[in-house]
């Protein structure tokens, strides 16, 4: 047994992506952020759908059309496959813990 909220670092030099489970149909990741963002010129354009939940901290997702969604602890979001998006803000004062589920 493991705990999703244990073994969190005190600070991060860069975002941390940890694969928790992977199969042909689904991939689950724990993502840790601490003020990191996706570079302004980069966009995620994934072949998989993504469902993401903020377990601790806060973050903001920006879409290619300029719209943004701010997520705080307990908020979740569905991002369809090939919907271009990026992380435009994460809380610089605490570790943000994301649960990301990718599926086809």
| pTM reported for the whole predicted model | 0.94
pLDDT, tens only, 17-72: 999 999 999 999 999 999 999 999 999 999 999 999 999 999 999 999 999 999 99
Supply angle C-alpha 6, 94, 29, rounded to 5.
Answer: 50
DSSP string for 19-37: EEEE-SSEEEEEEEESS--
Per-residue pLDDT for 10 more than 90?
no
User: Domain 27-103 - what CATH class?
Assistant: mainly beta
Which letter does DSSP use for residue 15 in this model?
-
């Amino acid at each position: 047994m493991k705990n999703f909220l244990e073994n969190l670092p005190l600070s991060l030099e860069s975002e941390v992506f940890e694969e928790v489970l992977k199969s042909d149909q689904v991939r689950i990741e724990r993502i840790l952020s601490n003020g990191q963002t996706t570079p302004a010129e980069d966009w995620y354009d994934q072949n998989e759908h993504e469902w993401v939940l903020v377990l601790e901290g806060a973050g903001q997702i920006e879409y290619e059309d300029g719209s943004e969604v701010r997520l705080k602890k307990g908020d979740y979001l569905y991002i369809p496959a090939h919907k271009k998006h990026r992380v435009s803000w994460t809380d610089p004062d605490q570790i943000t813990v994301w649960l990301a589920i990718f599926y086809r």
